[in-house]
Structure 1
Amino acid sequence: MCQTNSFTQLIGDVMDDCVFCKISAGQEPAKYRYIDDEIMVIVNRLNWVPVMLLVIPRIHQTQIELWSNPLMAKMSDIAVDFGCMYCPNGFRILSNFGKHGMQSQNHAHLHVIGGTDLGPYA
């Protein structure tokens, strides 16, 4: 899990089986809350808690690659800004790694969740 592989290679500008690449390219619908040349923030299609946002790099990369990339600092700042804006009483920023970590998308991303008492675990 902790090694990069050929999955990170782009097919054109979009990974053919990556929903986040397709959203970034405008080929799949999403509820955008922020977008620039490097990062987008969308509303998660899942709705386990009132606020579920995804902070996503526009270019495909793995979670491991993201966490060693200077872009992570910008993504973290944006995640905190949106957490404060949407969840003034508190929020969590999460990043899942691999199957056992409940990672469902291979495209790197951060979760911003809140809007309710999240309890001891998310």
Structure 2
Amino acid sequence: MTSPSSTSQSSNSYCVFCEIVAGREPARIRYLDNDLIAIVNRLTWVPIMLLVMPRRHMSQLEMWSSGIMTRLGDVAATLGCMYCPNGFRILSNFGYDGLQSQSHGHVHVIGGQFLGHYA
């Protein structure tokens, strides 16, 4: 797990999201432009699990405090409406206690069923 204060990826560390962006790892892409990519999460805890992220590697904190967040939020909300017409959640995990598993900043769009109360 990464700490919420981690910054950009070091040149020698592996990032599966950077590999997906580069076309070296497979992914089911649901949105792509010059700055953003949205993919289907390989995990299947709920019927719809999308990940929306900047194509450029940046930490969660960098992503949330950057100018790209408005567009990223628009894309995430649009995909949520498209794939989960009955409702969805958009969320991000920060640090170990927040269960952040990837250093590359991203948001989750989850839905496709009743999601229940918050943790």
Which TM class, normalised by the smaller chain length? Answer: over 0.9
- Secondary structure (helix, strand or coil) at the match of 2:71 reads helix
Which residues of structure 2 form unaligned runs of 5+?
none
CA apart distance, 1:2: 4.4
- Secondary structure (helix, strand or coil) at the match of 2:39 reads strand
Match 1:72 to one of 62, 69, 73? 69
Matched, 1:3 2:2: no
Question: Which residue is 1:113 aligned to?
Answer: 110
Which structure has more relative contact order (CA 8 Å, sep 6+)? It is: 2
Question: Which residue is 1:30 aligned to?
Answer: 27
Match of 1:3, as an amino acid? S
How far apart in 2 are the matches of 1:99 and 1:45?
20
Q: TM-score, with normalisation over the residues of structure 1?
A: 0.90
- Secondary structure (helix, strand or coil) at the match of 1:41 reads strand
CA apart distance, 1:3: 3.2
RMSD: 1.5
Matched, 1:100 2:84: no
Identity value in percent: 57
How far apart in 1 are the matches of 2:50 and 2:4?
25
Question: Which residue is 2:84 aligned to?
Answer: 87
Is the Cα contact below 8 Å between 2:9 and 2:104 reproduced in 1?
no
Is the Cα contact below 8 Å between 1:41 and 1:55 reproduced in 2?
yes
Is the Cα contact below 8 Å between 1:10 and 1:60 reproduced in 2?
no
Give runs of ≥4 in structure 1 deviating > 2 Å: 1-5
CA apart distance, 1:56: 1.1
Question: Which residue is 2:17 aligned to?
Answer: 20
- Secondary structure (helix, strand or coil) at the match of 2:58 reads coil
Give the number of equivalent residue pairs: 117
Which residues of structure 1 form unaligned runs of 5+?
none
- Secondary structure (helix, strand or coil) at the match of 1:69 reads coil
Deviations 1:82-109 (A, max 9, x none): 0000001100001000011010000000
